Amino acid sequence: MIPAAFEYHRPKDMEGVFAVLTQHGDEARVLAGGHSLIPMMKLRMADVPHLIDLQDVDGLGGITVDGDTVRIGAMVTQAEIIANEELFKVAPIMREASLQIADPQVRYMGTVGGNVANGDPGNDMPGLMQCLDASFTLVGPDGERTVAAREFYEAAYMTDRADDEVLTAVSFAAPSGGYAYEKQKRKIGDYATAAAAVLLTKDGGNCTAASIAMTNLSDTPIYSEAASAALTGTSLGEADIDTAVAAMLGDIDPMQDNRGPVEFKKHAAAVILRRAIARAWSRA
C-alpha cells in the first residue's frame, strides 16, 4: 500500500528537530532507520502528517567503550554493531543478536535507536537491552533524562518517551560471563516467534548471577526477574532449568496470530530459553 500524504523534514541539528516536534506535537514522528515506522505507514497503521528524518543530525552516532561502560548512539546501525571489534570484545551478545535481525539489507539501514524507541514487541533490541539492564537517554526541549530499559515499555508501541522527546543513545555496563541470544522465526527476515537473551556468570560450578529477557511473547519485551532468580545460586541442573522455564512461562502473555496459537508459542519459548541457557552456561 501507499502511505497517506505527509510532509518530510530533514533538520541539521536537534534544535531543528525540536522546532518541528513543538510545532506539530503528536502529528510529528522522528525517523531513524525507518524499518519499523515506514511499513506501519504503508499499511495505514500509523498516520504521520510530519516525518522528521534524523539522518543529518550530528551527535547521534558512534560506539564508545569507556572502561566497562558502553554507549551506542541512536543512529548506529545493526551493521555497525556487527563490524565493531571493540564492542564485540566487551559485549559479544550485541553482535550475536544483530546477526539474527532480518537480513543484510535491513541491517545496513536499521538503527539501534529506532529498534528500541518504537515500542514494537517484535523488535529484538528492546528485550536484549532489558537483559543488559541498559538505560536510554532521552532529550527534549526541557533537557535530558535517563530511563531504564526495564521501565521504558508500557504496552505495544507505547513507551515512556514523550511526544517531544528523542531517544539519542543507549548505555549499559559491559556484561561478564556467558551470553546467548537465541531466536526462533518462520523464515529469514521475519520477526521472532520467540527469542531469549540470557547472561550468566559462574563461580566454580555455581551460577552467581543471571539475567533473562524474552521477545515477542507479550505486548512488551519481558525481563523475567523470577526466571533469573531461579538460576542464581544453583548449579544449573535440569530441575533448576525447569524452574526457570516455568517462571518465564508465568511472566509472558503471548497471543495467537499468524505465527501460531498460544500453546505453540509457549512451547517455542520454553525450547528457545533452554537453548539460550545451555549456550550461555557453556560460555560462562
Question: Across the chain, what does the average pLDDT equal?
Answer: 94
Model pLDDT, residue 46: 78
Q: Is CATH 3.30.390.50 the classification given to domain 178-283?
A: yes
What is the fold, at CATH topology level, of the domain defined by 7-53?
3.30.43
For 60-105, write each residue's pLDDT tens digit.
Answer: 999 999 999 999 999 999 999 999 999 999 999 999 999 999 989 8
Please compute the mean of the pLDDT values over residues 18-33 and round it to a whole number.
89
Please compute the mean of the pLDDT values over residues 163-174 and round it to a whole number.
96
Neighbours of 190 (CB within 10 A): 13
CATH 3.30.390.50 domain residues, the chain: 178-283
> C-alpha 120: how far from its chain's center?
9
What is the fold, at CATH topology level, of the domain defined by 63-173?
3.30.465
- pLDDT > 80? residue 208: yes
Q: Cell 518504537 belongs to which residue?
A: 118
- pLDDT > 80? residue 4: yes
CATH 3.30.43.10 domain residues, the chain: 7-53
- pLDDT > 90? residue 47: no
- pLDDT > 80? residue 42: no
Please compute the mean of the pLDDT values over residues 242-250 and round it to a whole number.
98
Model pLDDT, residue 40: 75
Percent of the chain with pLDDT over 90: 84
How far apart are alpha carbons 3 and 134 in whole angstroms? 34
For 213-225, write each residue's pLDDT tens digit.
Answer: 999 999 999 999 9
Model pLDDT, residue 193: 97
For 253-267, write each residue's pLDDT tens digit.
Answer: 999 999 999 999 999
Model pLDDT, residue 49: 86
CATH 3.30.465.10 domain residues, the chain: 63-173
Q: Sheet containing 222-223: which strands, arranged edge to edge?
A: 178-184, 194-203, 206-215, 222-223
CB 157 within 8 A of CB 248: no
Model pLDDT, residue 97: 98
- pLDDT > 80? residue 37: no
How far apart are alpha carbons 36 and 122 in whole angstroms? 10
pLDDT band at 238 (very low <50, low <70, confident <90, very high): very high
Model pLDDT, residue 175: 98
Which residues are within 8 A (CB) of 222 and not within 5 positions of it... i.e. 6 or more apart? 127, 130, 213, 214, 248, 251, 252
Q: What is the greatest pairwise CA distance in the chain?
A: 61
Q: Read out DSSP for 183-241? A: EE-SSTTPPPSEEEEEEEEEETTEEEEEEEEEESSSSS-EE-HHHHHHHTTS---HHHH
Model pLDDT, residue 223: 98
